[in-house]
Structure 1
Amino acid sequence: PEPALKVTRDSDGTFVLTGDKIERAFKMANLDHEDGAMRFARQLRSMGVDDALRDAGAESGDLVAIDDFTFEFVE
């Protein structure tokens, strides 16, 4: 089975998040509204994404991608 969360790095340095659970949460998130974006950020934290990114070497300001959505990692 695929891990719940996988962190890889693109050739341009962007950290890429994949995994069934995170992709499902992304598809259900309403990122057009600030409330939805904040809720999604809390979901990511509760899934351990922040820790996984730090473990992979991410620092504040690095770009992170989920599917076609890119955001800045903030400590």
Structure 2
Amino acid sequence: MPFSVCVKDRMMYSHTFTFDDGVPFTTGCTAVVTATFEGAALGPYDILIDILVAQRLLREVMELYDHKNLDALQ
């Protein structure tokens, strides 16, 4: 695609590992997520997507996981 807009955000989450001793170990992680919006052509006013809209869309998706324990999500 000839046109693209990238936005980046961070989120924190936790998840649990179980090693050979069988004792669960919960750890936290920080993820840096980049979303790229692509298009073959620009829209009105020669804009692919408003950067604020792109940031909001990424944040809406990341809120599903931010500060959550991934083991508890179904």
TM-score (normalised: structure 2): 0.29
Q: For CA contacts below 8 A with separation 6 or more, give which structure has more relative contact order.
A: 2
Q: Higher Cα Rg: structure 1 or 2? A: 2
| Larger helix percent | 1
